[in-house]
Amino acid sequence: MGSPLLAHYADRLQSAIAAKSTAAVVGIDPVLERLPPALCAGVTDNASAAAALAAFARDVIEVVAPLVPAVKINSAFFEAFGAAGVAAFFASVAEARRRGLLVISDIKRGDIGSTATLYARGHLGSPEVADELQVPDAVTVAGYLGVNAVRPFAETAAATGRGLYVLVRPSDPGADEIHEFGGERPLYRFLAERVAEWGSLPERVGATGLSCVGAVVAPKDAESTRALRAAMPNTPFLVPGYGAQGGTAEACRACFREDGRGAAVNASRSVIYAYEDETRLARCEGDWKRCIESAAREFAADIAGIMEG
Amino acid sequence: MGSPLLAHYADRLQSAIAAKSTAAVVGIDPVLERLPPALCAGVTDNASAAAALAAFARDVIEVVAPLVPAVKINSAFFEAFGAAGVAAFFASVAEARRRGLLVISDIKRGDIGSTATLYARGHLGSPEVADELQVPDAVTVAGYLGVNAVRPFAETAAATGRGLYVLVRPSDPGADEIHEFGGERPLYRFLAERVAEWGSLPERVGATGLSCVGAVVAPKDAESTRALRAAMPNTPFLVPGYGAQGGTAEACRACFREDGRGAAVNASRSVIYAYEDETRLARCEGDWKRCIESAAREFAADIAGIMEG
């Protein structure tokens, strides 16, 4: 696979978090119907819808780039508009990287090994193309098809200084019927153990002791989150469910290690649609970008407070 | 959601199977390095790679269209080449539908409910665009995030005469660590019960008694496959693992109901790369399309034999 093209993902993420003094990650989930009216006025087909999403993403990225270390860009919201949407997705990844943000592509792909190799190539890049701006710094991965589904992502990530986050505990309560399956030792605990193992290979561990194999861990409650942190001591957590999805500060705190490292906390809708709050919109004199900026500042400060304990 | 735009998926599939006298489905998994040399001679970037994949898919579709009722087109193999690859994927879906084949888009998407809605829109189409040729007849779905992840696909499918296949038992043995999880009553059995429930809503059941909510069931062995057939009596099965992945005829037979309905059996590599077999290539006088045609005929006949029991 050749030598790493970039420093280890967990080290780069930790540096970016230190530089911005917050582990807040803004999620870019653009829904056409919720965009500022000026952006979606001329939308008639997939191509114009994709252009509107790209314009919105570009503006969000510009506003939040000075405030947070990373953005998470969700493929589904772009893929809804076909190949044009996918092109807008990759353009948004590149735009965020150009602005100096780390980028997590939220793709949740999962397939059998021979197919997973192709998804890894498409989204994490082969080592030869890993310096392209369209390749994100990390991706989310579904590990439900086992080690073979994850290996191609982990190997490419380790070889190129990139990362992955395997779904361990999703934020949607509807996912509990599967993740709580198995009684005393439910599936999400088993997944956590496997993620810890997959991440423990020496070539996957960075200078901070954290792996390039991370986990998506929704902060359901503080106690079970602490147990997951203990089960995956060297695993970076990507924490969804802050803000609109209702994660609590205490459960979020439990996602961090005692050294204050090891987690990045995502909020999407509560930041990027902050202008839907009429009080905020009035305070920002009707300027939707200022609404996003003020919401992102508050979110970044919230997470900084949680990191300090 | 409006009234159905097409007849029920299971009814349409059953008619197509009857018309071709076989439930064989050819899988289109194009790997650049394995294409006939003439097709990938000029490949230098994603755009030219995508064009090569589209040309190969077009030729495979032309050859197999008279022989089988449906093709399964795997997104990963196209997505490996970015937005250009995704455009080639949708073009291949349209090409197969234009040739009169039913098309299953193998996308295995799975995300929380609000996001699943967007994936469903992108791949099954909203009812308003469901007559577009780029919208397939069915998709594969990952149900590991529970009912909310599946509902948007099931609702769109029921409203537009389309279908979905939820992963219940994948063919890769590496997936067993998750699917066999839980001991006596393992996860794949729980998934089967849920799929049967999701498919049993009256508006999801067609005239043949089969649902638009199907299951991906690899024929691991005849006994456990019979148990899955019994647990999902009204669920159409999409059966991977025939041919290159080694499913046996007896286990395949167990995927069909006693009335000979309810399953479609996929083979990908053993058909589309049939020209890699030098004996066959010599027999076909070096013509790679004739190799695919003869392999597709043999596969179609094999499955017809299995259906007769």
pLDDT digit string, tens, across residues B28-65: 999 999 999 999 888 999 999 999 999 999 999 999 99
Point out the residue among A86, A118, A146 whose CB comes nearest to the CB of B174: A146
**How many domains, chain A?**
1
Per-chain mean pLDDT for chain A: 94
**Higher-confidence residue: A251 or B298?**
B298
Query: Which one of A90, A143, A177 has the shortest CB-CB distance to B82?
Result: A90
Give percent helix, percent strand, percent coil of chain B, each to the nearest 5: 55, 15, 35
User: Do B187 and A190 lie within an 8 Å CB cutoff?
Assistant: no
Tell me if A175 and B112 make a contact (CB, 8 A cut-off). yes
What one-character-per-residue DSSP string does A176-192 give? HHHHTTTTTS-HHHHHH
Instruction: Give me the pLDDT at residue B3, please.
Output: 44
Which residues in chain A touch residue B172, judged by CB atoms under 8 angstroms apart?
112-113, 145-146, 148-149
Judge if pTM exceeds 0.90. yes
pLDDT at B1 over 50: no
CA separation for the pair B213, B216 (Å, rounded): 10
When pLDDT is cut at 50, 70 and 90, the band that residue A125 belongs to is confident
Residue B18: predicted pLDDT:
97
Q: What pLDDT was estimated at residue A129? A: 60
Q: In terms of Cα–Cα distance, which of B267, B284, B195, B202 is closest to B22?
A: B267
> What confidence score (pLDDT) does residue A133 get?
87
pLDDT given for residue B129 in this prediction? 60
What CATH number is attached to the domain comprising B121?
3.20.20.70
- Minimum Cα–Cα distance from B112: chain A residue: A172
Which residue in this structure is represented by tokens 């300090």?
A308
Residue A18 has phi, psi (to 5 degrees) of -65, -40
User: Closest Cα of chain B to A227: distance in Å?
Assistant: 20
Q: What pLDDT, in 10s, does the model give residues B105-156?
A: 999 999 998 899 999 999 998 656 655 888 999 999 999 999 999 999 999 9
How large is the average pLDDT for residues A2-24? Answer: 89
Q: Residue A250: its pLDDT value, please? A: 86
pLDDT grade, residue B262 (50/70/90)?
A: very high
Among the partner-chain residues B119, B149, B181, the one whose CB lies closest to the CB of A182 is: B181
Of B86, B144, B148, the CB nearest to A142: B144
Residues A127-175 pLDDT 10s: 556 558 889 999 999 999 999 999 999 999 999 999 999 999 998 999 9
Contact state of B115 with A76 under an 8 Å Cβ cutoff: yes
Residue A101 pLDDT > 70: yes
Q: What is the pLDDT of residue A145?
A: 96
Q: Percentage of chain A surpassing pLDDT 90?
A: 87
- For residue A70, the SS3 value is strand
Taking 60 as the threshold, does the pLDDT of residue A245 lie above it? no
How far away is chain B from the Cα of A63, in angstroms, using its nearest Cα?
24
What pLDDT, on the 0 to 100 scale, is given for residue A265?
97
Q: What's the confidence (pLDDT) of residue B159?
A: 93
pLDDT, average across residues B153-167: 96
pLDDT-derived band at A43, boundaries 50, 70, 90: very high
- Residue B177 has its nearest CB partner, among A79, A123, A146, at A146
Distance (Å, whole) CA A61 – CA A72: 10
Expressed as residue numbers, the domain containing A141 is 9-304
Residue B17 lies in a domain: yes
Q: Is the confidence at residue A1, as pLDDT, over 50?
A: no
Contact B149 A134 (CB under 8 A): no
| Strand blocks (E) in A93-172 | 102-109, 138-141, 163-169
Interface of B with A in 91-110 (CB under 8 A): 108-110
Q: Is A144 on the interface with B (CB under 8 A)?
A: yes
DSSP B299: H
Task: List the 170-199 stretch of B: residues with Cβ below 8 A of A.
Answer: 170-172, 174-178, 181-183, 187, 190-191, 194
Residue B81 touches chain A, beta carbons under 8 Å: yes
Residue B3 domain-assigned (yes or no):
no
Does B127 fall in a domain?
Answer: yes
**Strand bridging mode A263-267 / A237-239:** parallel
Give domain status of residue B222, yes or no: yes
Nearest residue of B to residue A114, measured between CA atoms: B172
Q: What is the mean pLDDT of residues B74-79?
A: 98
> What own/partner pairs with CB < 8 Å and gap ≥ 24 does B126-133 have?
B126/B156, B127/B1, B127/B2, B127/B5, B127/B156, B127/B159, B127/B160, B130/B5, B130/B6, B130/B156, B130/B160, B130/B161, B130/B162, B131/B5, B133/B93, B133/B94, B133/B97, B133/B98
| Chain B residues in contact with A167 (beta carbon < 8 A) | 144-145
pLDDT confidence of residue A68 = 98
Q: What is the pLDDT of residues B187-242, one digit of tens each?
A: 999 999 999 999 999 999 999 999 999 999 999 889 999 999 999 999 999 999 78
The answer to whether residue B2 scores a pLDDT higher than 70 is: no
Reading the block at residue A301, the tokens are 């400060």
pLDDT in tens, A74-99: 999 999 999 999 999 999 999 999 99
Average pLDDT over residues A227-237: 98
CB proximity B304 to A under 8 Å = no
Neighbours of B131 (CB within 10 A): 11
Q: Is B43 on the interface with A (CB under 8 A)?
A: no
More confident residue, A116 or A309: A116
Q: Which residue of B has its CA nearest to A182?
A: B182
Residue A309 belongs to some domain of the structure: no
pLDDT tier for residue A2 given thresholds of 50, 70 and 90: very low
The top-scoring range by mean pLDDT among A245-249, A258-262, B14-18 is B14-18
Q: Which residues contact A41 (CB under 8 A, 6 or more apart)?
A: none
